[in-house]
Structures are given as C-alpha cells and as structure tokens.
Structure 1
Amino acid sequence: MSELLDDPALERSSVVANNSMNRTRGLAGVNSYERDLGFDPFHLLSETVRAQPDTTVTWIDLCCGSGRALLEAEQRFTRDLPNADIALLGIDLIDYFQTRPHTDRLRLITASAHDWHPDHPADLVTCVHGLHYIGDKLALLSAMASWLTPTGRLTAHFDPHSIRNPDGSSAARKVLAHLREAGLDYDRRHHRLTAQGPRALTFPATYLGADDTSGPGYTGQPAVTSHYDW
C-alpha cells in the first residue's frame, strides 16, 4: 500500500485536482443529473417552492465540476418560475466553471469540500460522483447528512469499498451497517446513498489518510480510497 496522504496533499494530487471531472453533465437528458440521481432536481425544487412559498428553497451541489447542471437550473427557474425564492450553490475544488452565474440565485464557489459549510439548511444536497475524490469521506457524509431541512433530501454516489481498514482491506460492511442504522438507504445497483431529513451520522473510526494510487473505482476512472482505524 502506498503512503497515505493528508487532505492538503491529496487536493494537490492529479487524480483529485483535475479539470475533467463532472464537466459535461447537464441537468436533464442522456448525460445528466436527472439520469445519475434518479430524479429531476428542477422538478423536485419546483415542487418544494410551491409547497413552501414563504421560505427560500436551497440546493447545495458539492463537487459540482463546471456547474453546468446548476447553470441550466438557474436558466429554467428564470424562464419558468421567475418569482421563485431559490438559492443554488455549487462548490468545487477547481475554479473551472462553465460561465459566471446570470442571477444572484446561483453562487459557484471554489473551496475544499472539507472546509466549506452552509449558512442554513438545504432542501436538496447532492454530490454526483464527487466522493470518489474525497479523502475523509465519512466526515463529509456526516456533514452533508446534517445540512438538510426536515423535509430535505440528500443523494450522493458512494462506493462503500472505497472505505478501507488500516491494512487496506474493505470496510464496506461496517460502513453500510452504520449508514443503515442512522436511517440512510443505499442502492447497490446505482451506487446511490440517500437520506430524507437530517441524520446524525457517527462512525467509530479515526481517519488515517487517503491513497490516490489504488486505481479505478466502479466508474472506471481513477479514484481515492480512504483509510480508517476502527
């Protein structure tokens, strides 16, 4: 096993600090969030706006890449629901966004996923194939699960086998057991982790570091394994 990297070193890795991740995925269609998440984010947010007309409806998209899906959502809200009180936030390590936001509804933020935290709870939190490049995945999952409003939804792609024991063996069974105990669901076929409403996630594990040389994950692209002492 290679020497494990801490978060600052990992974020300088060519596997993580790349400009090709999540660059072409749109909001709907063949190569889209709708297909990867299993639902249309615009439709979900629109329904939430109608159900909560007096509150700001928020979507947080971690590891948003070029921000294309968020930019398309911004355009659709401008066209179809121009009076909707909506906040769209995209966070990515690399400042490689497709274009600047056109309205103050959308913010594209360059920041480490480990360091960024929202100002208020969100109605939708997504991370589309972004956890593959995160070091302390369990800490980020715990944070995202706590960001939800009482009716909010979290959907993130997750490979439980990317969580490893100190000797490099898979800790997938332990992780999935703790996730289910906290009330999260895991779709093995689509590699999707979901939660409805905030969840208190705690793992009896100490983060040791990450390995960016472990090879491709289930997507076929290079990924990062995260190692913990349980």
Structure 2
Amino acid sequence: MMELLSDSELEESDVVANCNMNRERNLRGSNGYERDLRFDPLAFLRDVEAQHDNAKWLDLCCGTGKALIEAAAEVDKESLSIEIIGVDLVGMFDSNESASLTLVEASLSLWQPPPQCKFDLITCVHGLHYIGDKLQLIERSLAWLSPIGTFAANLDRDNLKLENGDDSELIDGLRHAGFSYSALQKLLRSDGIRNVDFALEYLGADPEAGPNYTGQPAVNSWYRKM
C-alpha cells in the first residue's frame, strides 16, 4: 500500500492547501449550492423556520463563505430567525457583516459545535473530497443534527477505499445505515438523526489519488474492517 497520511499531515499537503473547489461558490446558479445539493438550502431553512420559529444551518468546508454570506443577506432582509455557521480549514473568508452568520477557521478533524447546539441542516459541498477520515466526519455530523435535521454532502464513492474487502462495501454500509446515495449525482443524504457505527479502522489518507469526477485532485480515504 502507498504511504498514507494522518489527518494533521493531510491538512499540510498541497492538494488540501491548494484546493479551490469551494472558494467562490454561490448560493444559487450554475456554480451554486442549489445545483450541487439538488435543493435550495435557504428555502429548506425558511420552511423549518416557519414551522419551528427558528432554524440553524452548519456548512462544512465553506470556502470563502460566499454562498453563506449571500444567504445571510436574505435572512437579514427578511428578518428571519435563521442562524448560519460556516467552518473552513483555510479561513480566507469574504467580508461578513451579518449577525446571522458566523465563519470559523478550524480543522474539521478537531472542531466541535457549541454545546447543545443542534442543526436543522448540515451541508458539505465538495468538501469531503479533501477530508481524510470522511466516514468519521459524516458520523460526527449526524450527532450534531436536530431531530428533524438533514445532512447532505457531495461524495465520490471512488474516494473511499477498503484494504480488506471490496470498496463498494463502504457505500453499501452507508445505505444500510439509512443514507441515500446517488452514484450519478455523487450526493449523500440523511434525513433525521441516525446512530451509525461503521466498525471500520481508519488507516489514513492518500493525497496522490489524482482527479475525481470534479476534475480536481482529491483525497482517497483508506479503511480496514475490524
């Protein structure tokens, strides 16, 4: 097997430091979250807020935060009770003046939301491509959902590798746990909290995996069945 990196080593690698998949992504349009997630996150949150008086959105690997800043501007204009948090490793955020939006520079292998904070929507738009332990981040994210929460992320199944089995077993395991996964759209989704135990050992990350379906260099995550 090739030499694998720990998550801390991966975060110092060129493929992660130079990734530009999410740097300038909009909320809507041809280069927008709505297109990649197959739904409008803000419309989703409006519905939650209308039914429950408030809503919270966590966006992982948010890049410059451009899409979130656009969403926060609409939230403020409409005086909606919607809180948005974006987290990114690099922290090269666009200027944000909205009290509805918090942008956090942090490693997602270490970051935790504030205690008792649960989110009605958690998204990761093209961010998992550059995460080492993808399954752990997915598992942790589910614990941060509210009882009515939805998790949605772009995921290329070819970036999940199993040392002692068929790689397809990893996606099968996600589906068995209740996730929906579209191989065509490369979209993973879970509606509602799910208790997930993948029973896998994370071996490390391969930053030399080459381009995935996006055409950009990505990271392979290697696992072993326990």
TM-score strictly above 0.5: yes
Q: Report what 1:148 is aligned to.
A: 145
- Following superposition, the deviation at residue 2 of structure 1 comes to 2.9
Q: Distance in 1 between matches of 2:69 and 2:38?
A: 19
The correspondence of residues 25-64 of structure 1 with structure 2, limited to 5 A, is 25-53=25-53, 56-64=54-62
- SS of the counterpart of 2:212? coil
Residue type of the alignment partner of 1:142: E
Runs of 4+ in 1 over 2 A off after TM superposition: 18-21
Contact 1:2 1:213 in 2 (8 A): no
Q: Report what 1:96 is aligned to.
A: 92
Q: Report what 1:75 is aligned to.
A: 73
For residue 165 of structure 1, the aligned residue among 162, 165, 173 is: 162
Q: Distance in 2 between matches of 1:19 and 1:155?
A: 20
2:3 equivalent to 1:3: yes
2:129 equivalent to 1:132: yes
Cα RMSD (Å) of the superposition? 1.4
Q: What do residues 125-151 of structure 1 show as CA deviations (whole Å, max 9, x unaligned)?
A: 000010010001110111112221111
Q: Report what 1:116 is aligned to.
A: 111
Contact 2:75 2:81 in 1 (8 A): no
Q: Distance in 1 between matches of 2:219 and 2:191?
A: 27
Q: Report what 2:22 is aligned to.
A: 22
Unpaired segments of 5 or more residues in structure 2?
A: none
- SS of the counterpart of 1:116? coil
Contact 2:121 2:150 in 1 (8 A): yes
Q: What do residues 151-176 of structure 1 show as CA deviations (whole Å, max 9, x unaligned)?
A: 11110011122111237x861x2112
Q: Distance in 1 between matches of 2:212 and 2:19?
A: 18
Q: Percent identity?
A: 43
- After TM superposition, the score normalised by the length of structure 2 is 0.94
Contact 1:162 1:170 in 2 (8 A): no
2:217 equivalent to 1:222: yes
Q: Distance in 2 between matches of 1:188 and 1:221?
A: 18
2:104 equivalent to 1:106: no
Unpaired segments of 5 or more residues in structure 1?
A: none
Contact 1:61 1:127 in 2 (8 A): yes
Q: Report what 1:208 is aligned to.
A: 203
Q: Distance in 1 between matches of 2:64 and 2:52?
A: 29
- After TM superposition, the score normalised by the length of structure 1 is 0.93
Q: Distance in 1 between matches of 2:50 and 2:146?
A: 16
Q: Distance in 2 between matches of 1:205 and 1:89?
A: 30
Contact 2:21 2:216 in 1 (8 A): no
- Following superposition, the deviation at residue 20 of structure 1 comes to 2.3
